[in-house]
């Protein structure tokens, strides 16, 4: 499934940040860049702030009640002080951002991920979730064609299906 840049790449960046948990600044930058954000560095203070933000993002993925999820996303948007901004950086054509490139890096991460979750929730709220395997707390953005994803990976799905199969065939 194709999403707009904020609902797709930014929502995936939010999931990646949640799944990274506590990590050094360089690792956080690597994760955010892999998820499509043009971030080049974070200070140690920025990293601490981004890690805490990841904890707040997790709440959105874990919440299954739509109105409560909207309240969580609205709080993230308010706390990230999102403001639509047309950006022209890195030789790219003008495109929409929720923070100026002159804004602090941690704030840009907050705005990017909050905006991504807001777009995703408005376009396809059932496309974000947490792995259904007991004991796995990995979150994901479902980009599958049919939108029926329940597990974070094939590995978790296989574990559940094999366990179910063994339970059914116990003597």
- For the chain, the average pLDDT equals 87
Check whether 18 has a pLDDT greater than 80.
Answer: yes
Domain count, the chain: 1
pLDDT value at position 163?
Answer: 79
Check whether 8 has a pLDDT greater than 80.
Answer: no
Neighbours of 34 (CB within 10 A): 11
> Please, which residues bridge with residue 97 across strands?
85
Determine the average pLDDT of the residues in 18-24. Answer: 94
Is 23 domain-assigned?
Answer: yes
pLDDT value at position 89?
Answer: 74
pLDDT value at position 4?
Answer: 53
Range of the domain at 121: 6-126
pLDDT value at position 74?
Answer: 94
Instruction: Check which CATH number belongs to the domain holding 30 and give it.
Output: 1.10.3300.10
Buried b (16+ CB within 10 A) or exposed e, 17-26: bbbbeebebe
Is 131 domain-assigned?
Answer: no
Determine the average pLDDT of the residues in 121-133. Answer: 91
pLDDT value at position 110?
Answer: 93
Is 170 domain-assigned?
Answer: no
Torsion on CA atoms 69, 21, 128, 103, rounded to nearest 10 = 70
Question: Which one is predicted more confidently, 90 or 129?
Answer: 129
Is 38 domain-assigned?
Answer: yes
Relative to beta strand 85-87, strand 95-97 is: antiparallel
What secondary structure letter does DSSP report for 30? H
Percentage of the residues of the chain whose pLDDT score is greater than 70? 95
Neighbours of 51 (CB within 10 A): 18
Check whether 66 has a pLDDT greater than 60.
Answer: yes
Is 163 domain-assigned?
Answer: no
Task: For residue 121, give the nearest of 166, 57, 170, 169 by alpha carbon.
Answer: 57
pLDDT value at position 84?
Answer: 77
Is 83 domain-assigned?
Answer: yes
**Can you tell me which residue has the tokens 């707009």?**
4
pLDDT value at position 160?
Answer: 83
Check whether 3 has a pLDDT greater than 60.
Answer: no
Helix, strand, or coil (residue 139): strand
Check whether 2 has a pLDDT greater than 70.
Answer: no
Is 137 domain-assigned?
Answer: no
Determine the average pLDDT of the residues in 32-60. Answer: 93
**Can you tell me which residue has the tokens 């506590």?**
22
Helix 66-80 to helix 105-123 angle, to the nearest 10 degrees? 150
Is 25 domain-assigned?
Answer: yes
pLDDT value at position 168?
Answer: 83
Buried b (16+ CB within 10 A) or exposed e, 53-88: bbebbbebbebeeeeebbebbeebbeebebeeeebe
Classify residue 171 as exposed, middle or buried by CB count within 10 Å of its CB (0-12, 13-18, 19+): exposed
Lowest-confidence segment of 12-16, 46-50, 165-169 by average pLDDT: 165-169
């Amino acid at each position: 499934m194709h999403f707009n840049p904020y609902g797709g790449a930014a929502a995936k960046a939010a999931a990646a940040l949640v799944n990274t948990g506590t990590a050094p600044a360089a690792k956080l930058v690597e994760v955010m860049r892999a998820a499509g954000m043009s971030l080049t560095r974070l200070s140690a203070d920025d990293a601490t702030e981004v890690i805490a933000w990841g904890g707040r993002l997790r709440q959105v993925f874990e919440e299954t009640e739509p109105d409560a999820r909207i309240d969580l996303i609205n709080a993230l948007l308010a706390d990230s002080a999102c403001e639509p901004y047309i950006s022209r950086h890195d030789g790219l054509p003008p495109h929409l951002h929720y923070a100026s490139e002159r804004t602090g890096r941690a704030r840009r991460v907050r705005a990017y991920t909050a905006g991504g979750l807001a777009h995703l929730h408005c376009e396809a709220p059932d496309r974000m979730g947490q792995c259904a395997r007991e004991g796995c707390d990995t979150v994901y953005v479902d980009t599958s064609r049919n939108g029926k994803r329940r597990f974070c990976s094939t590995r978790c799905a296989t574990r559940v299906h094999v366990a179910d199969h063994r339970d059914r065939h116990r003597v």
